[in-house]
Every structure is written in structure tokens, then in C-alpha cells.
Amino acid sequence: MLVKRVCLKDIAEEVNVSQTAVSKVLNGLPIRIGQEKREKIIETAQRLGYSPNMIARGLRNQKTKSIGIVIPDMSTLFYPELLRSLEIKLSSYGYQTLICNSEDDPVNEREHIETLLSRSVDGLVVAPAAGRDNIDYFKEIQESRKTFVLIDRYFAGEGLNFIVTDNKQGAGAGVGILADQGVARIIYLGNRVRNQPIDDRLTGVREEAARRSIGFTTEQIFLTETDRESAGATCRRILGGNLKDTGIFLESNRLLMGLLDAAREKGLQIPDDFHVIGFDPFIAEMAYPADYASLRVIRQPFSLIRQDIAGMVQAVGEYLVSSLNKQSNRLLQRMLPAEIIPGNYGQDA
């Protein structure tokens, strides 16, 4: 049989007190009641296995103790990692996580947010999908005083809350590493589909290159689809040219395998034939023979620029808690510094 969950009324009848009394005692609210009755209520609740119906409570309180999270992608380790930390954090504050996957499509994204809103989530954390389609929609939500924050990706100058990596700074630091390796010329490999954070990376490279008088012109920027095939094709063009004192800047770790595939074809190695730096540790899924072969191109590990996921999650957690409790609704726009993970040039790998 479908067992009915016990509710306040059941306890009230059992103990012979009002439902109000039960509610107040169980929630630790002030109420004058005999010690004996109080204990009886608590004992009975325990015995019957009472646990409050959060749906009813949510309807009554207009608060559900839940947070909606929308991310564009679960196929790298980046968002799952972010999700995991966020879930642990929120759950420690008693919040339930509702996740949605937009698959980087603004239409999906919007539908998912509508659903989350119809489920009365108390707050929304969104790593927005590609494009600017939903900016006005986000503004509406934020202006409705719903707790709202963008994570990882943002939009500049739109007055939306965000917590992201300082991509410009990180990219600049990466150029510094290349310069230390004697690079005199940078080739930038980026995604064709643009968004603010990766534009910031490009800006960071351009500005730091200028500051250090490293050659960097428009012809040195290559944009590509991120699938391995396309990235590989683009890289074959890059690697076909002159590579003397060249550092290749990878806008994201998704582009690496394509680069390695192309290098392998041409018999080139890192760092012997060119230098590399890029954003975020990449993961290799060692399922296919070709992967091993391509990884061999890396004769010595290069440095990486890593986003501070833990820091972002920490910041989001703090923001949610403060925003959810108080009515404070001030603008929050934070950029967290990226970190350099050094390779080991000069040592034996």
C-alpha cells in the first residue's frame, strides 16, 4: 500500500493538543505548554516518523529552501566539479539543489528557468548559454528581487550579478609565462562562438603582448569550432606556417586534443617545436588509441592557467546565504584571480 506520510494533524490527535501547538513545539517557536505535553509531542513525532512536508511548507511560506542551477554542459569535468562543490555547500545550509542542463542553448535555458521559477526556487545560479538572447530576461529576474547570480560566464555592463574568473588577468599571466620561455610571437587559438569571458582572455593576451612588445596581430588569431576534428584542421594550418619562437595560446582546454593531433601528424613536439599555454587543466579520456599517440607530442608538460572553482563556489555560497536571509540586494560583480599551474620545462619529464 502507498503509505501515507504522517502529518501535524495526526500527531495533534494522538497527543490531544492543537495542531498549532505541535507546529510550534516541533519548530522550537515560543509557546507556553506543559513540559509533559511538549515531550509527548516530540516523542510522538519521532515514533510516527514525522518529517515536515516541504511542499506544503513551501506553499505556505513562499520559500522552498531550494536553489536552481543551470549549467550549459556536463561533458567536461569543469561544471560537474562546480556542481559538486555547490551542492555540498548548499546542502550544508539546508538548501536543495535543482539542476538543469541547457546544453548551451538559450531556448533550453529559458525554459528550464521558467520551470525552476514555477517551482518557486529561492534563488538561481546560472552559467549562461552562448549568446546574449536572455540578457533582458535575466535582468527581469534580478530586478524582481529574486536571488540571482551568474557564474563562470557573465555579461559586461549589464548590471547583472556575477562571480567569474578574472580571465583578462589570467590570460595576461599566461603571456608572461610564454615570454619567460623566450616566445617572441603568439598565436591565439580560440572558439568561433564568442562570449564575454573568452573575449576577456583575448583582450588579456593582446594587452599583455603589447606591453611586452611581443608580436600579436589579427592574422595570429585563429577561431575554430571546438570539436576535435575542426580544431585539428585549424591547427594543421597554424602548424604549417613558421613556428620559430612561437607560443600557442589555447583559449580553452577543449582545443588541445586537436592541436596535439595536428602536431603528431606533422611530427612536431612540445616544447621542441613550439610552446603552449592555455586555460584549465585538460582531461584526456583514455579510451581510444589515438589519444595516447597524440599525448606523446607533449614531450615536457607546459604550464596551465587554472580557474579557481573552489573560490567561485565559496563566493556564490556566501552570496546566496546573505541574499536569501537579508533583503540586501546590492549588485555583486566579482572576478577571482586565476592561478598558474607550472609545467616542468627544463626538468626531465
Partner DNA sequence: CTGAAAGCGCTTACAG
Question: What is the SS3 assignment for 65?
Answer: coil
In the complex, the residues that contact its own copies under the rule CB under 8 A are 1-3, 5, 51-56, 58-59, 64, 66, 74-75, 77, 79-81, 83-84, 87-88, 91, 96-101, 103, 112, 114-120, 144-146, 281-289, 291-293, 295-296, 298, 300-301, 304, 306, 341, 343-344, 347, 349
Task: State the minimum distance, in angstroms, from the CB of residue 233 to its own copies.
Answer: 22
- Residue 64 makes CB contacts below 8 A (sequence gap 6+) with 54, 58, 96, 119, 120, 121, 122
Which of the listed partners (its own copies, DNA, none) does 211 bind, with a CB threshold of 5 to 8 Å by partner kind?
none
Closest CB to DNA among residues 48, 99? 48
Q: Where are the beta strands (DSSP E) in 46-138?
A: 66-71, 96-101, 123-126
Q: What is the grid cell recorded at 66?
A: 531550494
Closest CB to its own copies among residues 331, 349? 349
Q: Which of 43, 56, 159, 272 binds DNA (CB under 7 A)?
A: 56
Closest CB to its own copies among residues 57, 237? 57
Task: State the minimum distance, in angstroms, from the CB of residue 31 to DNA.
Answer: 5
Q: Do 48 and 11 form a contact (C-beta atoms < 8 A)?
A: yes
29: left (phi over 0), alpha (psi -120 to 50) or beta: beta
Cα gap 232→217, rounded to integer Å: 22
Q: Which of 59, 80, 61, 58 is nearest to 71 (CA)?
A: 80
208: left (phi over 0), alpha (psi -120 to 50) or beta: alpha
Binding to DNA (CB under 7 A) within 59-78 occurs at 59-62
20 is an interface residue for DNA by CB under 7 A: yes
Task: State the minimum distance, in angstroms, from the CB of residue 238 to its own copies.
Answer: 21
Residue recorded with cell 607550472? 342
Which of the listed partners (its own copies, DNA, none) does 222 bind, with a CB threshold of 5 to 8 Å by partner kind?
none
Task: State the minimum distance, in angstroms, from the CB of residue 294 to its own copies.
Answer: 10
Where do contacts with DNA occur on this chain (CB under 7 A)?
Answer: 4-5, 7-9, 17-21, 23-24, 26-27, 29, 31-33, 50, 52-53, 56-57, 59-62
